[in-house]
């Protein structure tokens, strides 16, 4: 299979490229900045339409699937209410440009679009589950941008666009930026010489290993039904206290910690019934192994 990855030099993009190549796929990617992951990658700022040169290059490559990962993916950078102009330019307009590109290619690639569990809005401890046919209630700029991008792609289906939507829940793994919780906490625990402070120890969430997530993306490219959305998550709830305590176990020392926010928060937990019906069951990396791998990678 020939695959194009937008955002190939990002955290998930690098893991996806590695997995696809291990499966024997031929991979090319688009990137921003000055650090391509390989000599065959193509520079493209997706807030701008694909150039004729880029389109011609990809016509020759003839991808079977486009994994659309490129986005501003940190919610705190996308606006507290509605998307910032930069977020709209990348996450919404950029998705339109990817759809335009796909429709311009004679190979008629399918798009696996990485949306987000954030489109579901909040949940309660009594009803934590999120199903694909639940009403969407995006909150915040990032969630609204992903919801808008989903709608944009669906609107292009009558024109021949082939799309599968992957609503990704929280995921982490080696190489993730320290702006995210797990690597930030790994650094805190590893360096701690005294008590630490964190935002919350009472948040319940669905957390997967990125190496499992990219496996699910490839399986959805092969087996996902066109036009459908799938939850890409673990289907298991853990708490931020579980994460902190496991990291302390990995260090081999209990680190005293205080939380700024004491009230419990419930994030959506993935109902993965539809996902497993499409791709079958997969053997997942254990949470402790994921946390050990991130922890060992800090300052390595």
pLDDT at 39: 74
DSSP, res 201? S
**0.85 cut: is pTM over it?**
yes
Note the helical H segments in the chain.
11-22, 52-61, 85-87, 93-104, 141-155, 181-191, 210-223, 240-251, 273-279, 287-297
Asked, for residue 220, whether it belongs to a domain, the answer is: yes
Asked, for residue 125, whether it belongs to a domain, the answer is: yes
Q: How many domains does the chain have?
A: 1
Asked, for residue 100, whether it belongs to a domain, the answer is: yes
pLDDT per position as a tens digit, 186-229: 999 999 999 999 999 999 999 999 999 999 999 999 999 999 99
- Domain boundaries, position 114: 2-173+207-235+268-283
Asked, for residue 90, whether it belongs to a domain, the answer is: yes
CATH of the domain at 23: 3.40.50.720
pLDDT per position as a tens digit, 4-35: 999 999 999 999 999 999 999 999 999 987 67
């Amino acid at each position: 299979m020939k695959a194009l990855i937008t955002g190939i030099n990002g955290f998930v993009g690098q893991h996806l490229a590695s997995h696809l190549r291990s499966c024997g796929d031929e991979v090319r990617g688009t990137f921003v900045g000055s650090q391509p992951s390989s000599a065959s990658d193509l520079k493209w700022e997706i807030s701008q339409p694909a150039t004729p040169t880029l389109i011609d290059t990809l016509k020759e490559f003839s991808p079977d699937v486009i994994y659309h990962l490129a986005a501003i993916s940190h919610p705190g950078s996308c606006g507290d209410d509605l998307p910032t102009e930069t977020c709209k330019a990348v996450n919404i307009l950029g998705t339109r440009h990817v759809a335009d590109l796909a429709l311009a290619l004679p190979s008629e690639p399918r798009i696996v679009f990485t949306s987000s569990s954030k489109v579901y809005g909040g949940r309660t401890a009594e009803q934590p589950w999120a199903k694909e046919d639940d009403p969407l209630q995006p909150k915040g700029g990032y969630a609204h941008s992903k919801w808008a991008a989903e709608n944009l792609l669906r609107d292009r289906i009558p024109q021949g666009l082939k799309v599968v939507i992957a609503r990704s829940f929280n995921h982490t793994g080696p190489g993730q930026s320290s702006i995210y919780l797990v690597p930030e906490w790994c650094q805190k625990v590893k360096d701690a010489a005294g008590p630490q402070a964190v935002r919350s120890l009472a948040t319940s969430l669905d957390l997967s290993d990125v190496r499992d997530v990219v496996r699910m993306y490839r399986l959805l490219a092969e087996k996902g039904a066109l036009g459908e959305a799938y939850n890409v998550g673990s289907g298991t709830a853990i708490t931020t206290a579980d994460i902190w305590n496991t990291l302390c176990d990995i260090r081999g020392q209990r680190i005293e910690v205080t939380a700024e926010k004491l009230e419990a928060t419930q994030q959506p937990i993935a109902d993965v019934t539809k996902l497993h019906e499409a791709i079958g069951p997969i053997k997942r990396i254990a949470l402790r192994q994921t946390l050990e791998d991130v922890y060992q990678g800090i300052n390595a």
